[in-house]
Chain A
C-alpha cells in the first residue's frame, strides 16, 4: 500500500524553482534514501512535505495516506503522522524541552482521538524512551535545543520521533556533523523505530549512514529532479564513483 505518492512535484522558494518535477512512491514500511550533492533540493523537498511557509508548490501533487498533503497545515501533517527530523533543529530559548515534548505529544494524541497524558504518565513514557536512546535526563530539562551540541540536537530529533510514533518519518541529514559513535547511536535509535507500518525517507549526503540504516530503495536527487533510482547498491556505486559520474551520466 502506498503511504506517500509524489507526482511531478514542482516547488519554488523566493520565486526560484528548486524542485523541478519529482516523482516518488513510498510503500508502507519501506525505507527510501535520497542522496544528492549540496544544493540539489533535498531540504527543499523535506520542507515542502512538512508544509513550511515560503515553499510554494507550483505543479504536481502529493498524496499521503489517500489525502492531499499539500492542503494540510504543518501541524495537521504532523498530527497525521508525518515527521520531519530537521537538518538544523531550531534552538528555542525559554521553552523547556520537557514542556515542549509533552505539548507536542498531547497535540498529536488529541488529534488522533487519544487520551491526554498527564505529567506523570508522560514522564514515564519519556524516561523509557530516553533510556532506549541513551539520552541523559539533563538534556530534557534544558531549553529546547538551546546550546545543544550537534549530536545532542540530532538525538533530540530521534527522541521526538520515538515519542510521536510517525507513519512517515523524513530524516534530513540526520547524520551530518556526527562522529561515528554519535552516528551509531542515532542509527540504532532509528532502526529501533523500524516497523511494518512506518515508512522512512532518509536524506543523506554520504552513504555512511546507509551502512547502518539499510534502505529498500535509493534515489539520487540532482538539480531538483530524481535522476536515478535503484536498490541499496546504488549508494555504494555513488560512494565509489562520486556524484559527478552519476549526475553527469544523467544530464
Chain B
C-alpha cells in the first residue's frame, strides 16, 4: 500500500525538523520523528486501503512538492474576509503559516488561552505534551502521521473550567502557493482543550487562489465533563487545491460537540471526523453539506464511537452534485458492548443534478450492545419532478424553481447549525454556490 515517497512530502525532514518551533524538547522531537517514520512506511493512502476505496490520491502522490513548511509567501495579497461577527477574534494563516499582522486576536479574556501553535509550544508545553498526538492516534492514519511529522503551525485554544467564549473564534486559512511545477503542502495542527463546563464556538474558513496547494490539517479536540464546542467549517478552497481535514474529538461525560462542514471548494476535499463518546451522556451532532461541479470530488468520512452508555449522536448530511462531480460518504457508527442506551442516527441524502454525477455512500453500523436506538439512511436522486412542476405552475421559471428546491434541500442540513449568524452565512454560501452554476 505504500506509494512512492519521492514526491517531496517528507523531503529533508530530519534537517528541517531541527529548525521547527520547540525542536530540542524531547517529546516534540519524538512526536515529529515518529510521524515521519510512520508516514515513510505508509505513504499516501491508496485505494487499496479500505477507507480510501472511493477517493483516489494517486494524482496527489505523483505531484512534486516543494520542501515543507518553509516560509512560502503569498503570491498575491491575501483577501481576508471581515470576521463573521463584527470585531470578533480572527487568526489568519497564509499558506499554512500564522500571520500575526493579518490576525486580530485582541486580548484573551481571563481563563482563555488562544495562541498560534508555535507560541503555545513555548508557553504551555505541558498542556501540549499531554494532549497532542493522544486524541488523534497516529497508528493507521498516514495523513495524520504526515501532519505530525511537520507539526509546527496551527492554533491552540484552551478554556479553563466553566469559561464561555461567546463570540466565534475564527481561523482563516488563505492559500495560493505553488510554482514551477512544484506544489506546496502545509499541515496545520490544532488543539482545542475545554476544561469542565467550558464552551466555545470555532469557525474555520478555507479560502484562497489557485496554486494547487495541498492542505492537510489535523484538529484534536478534548472536551471535559459538561464542556461543549460548536465547530463550523467552510471549505471554499480554490478549484485546484487538495484539502484534507482530519478532526478527532474526545468527549467526556455530558460533553457535547456540534460540527458542520460546508464543503464546496477544492478539486478534491475530504473531511474526516472521528468522535469518541467516552463519558456517559455525551452527545455529538455532526453534520454537513457538500456540493460539487466540474470534476470535483468531495468526501465525507465519519466515525462516531459510542464508548460509554447513554450517549447520543446524530449526523445529517446533504449533497448536491452536478456535472461529473463525485461525492463520497462513509459514515460509521460503532456502539461498544457497554454503551447501552445509545442513540445514534445518521442520514446522508444526495441530489444528482446531472447524469454523470455520482455518489458513493457507505453507511455502517457496528453494534455490540443490545439496548440501543440506531439508524442510518442514505438516498440519492434527482430533484422532485412533482415539486418542480408545482412551482412552475405558479409562474416560477424553471431555473428559479430548481434553485428554490436545491436551497430547501441543503437547508435541511444547514438548519442543524445552532449559531444563528453562522447559519445565515452558510446559507448564503450555499446559495452563492448554486447561483455560480446558473441555477
Contact = CB atoms under 8 A, between A and B. Distances in A.
- Give 10 closest A-B pairs by Cβ, nearest first: A94-B408, A78-B395, A104-B394, A90-B390, A74-B392, A108-B395, A107-B395, A75-B392, A95-B408, A79-B395
Chain A's interface size range is 20 to 34
B389 interface: yes
B308 to A, nearest CB: 34
A128 B391 CA distance: 23
B119 interface: no
Interface of B: 384-387, 389-398, 400-401, 404-405, 407-409, 411-412
A107 B404 contact: no
Contacts of B397: 75, 107
A104 B395 contact: yes
B312 to A, nearest CB: 24
Given A92-B405, A92-B408, A100-B404, A73 B392 contact: yes
Contacts of A100: 391, 394, 396, 404
Interface string A163-184: 0100000000000000000000
Interface string A56-93: 00000000000000000111011100001010011011
A52 B386 CA distance: 9
A74 B411 contact: no
Contacts of A108: 394-395
Interface of B is mostly: helix
A103 interface: yes
Given A75-B398, A107-B395, A94 B390 contact: no
Given A95-B404, A95-B408, A73 B394 contact: no
A107 to B, nearest CB: 4
B385 A53 contact: yes
A103 B400 contact: yes
A107 B400 contact: yes
Interface in A76-128: 77-79, 84, 86, 89-90, 92-95, 99-100, 103-104, 107-108, 111
A79 B397 CA distance: 10
A160 interface: yes
A158 interface: no
Nearest to B414: A94
A4 interface: no
Max chain A C-beta neighbours (<10 A), residue from B389, B394, B397, B401: B394
A78 B392 CA distance: 8
Contacts of B405: 92, 95
Contact of B396 (A77, A90, A103, A143): A103
A94 B412 contact: yes
Interface in A167-226: none
Max chain B C-beta neighbours (<10 A), residue from A78, A79, A103, A160: A103
A26 interface: no
Interface string A23-53: 0000000000000000000000000001111
A89 to B, nearest CB: 7
Nearest to A160: B394
Given A53-B385, A53-B389, A94 B396 contact: no
A95 B391 CA distance: 11
B417 to A, nearest CB: 15
Given A53-B385, A53-B389, A100-B404, A93 B412 contact: yes
Contacts of B409: 94
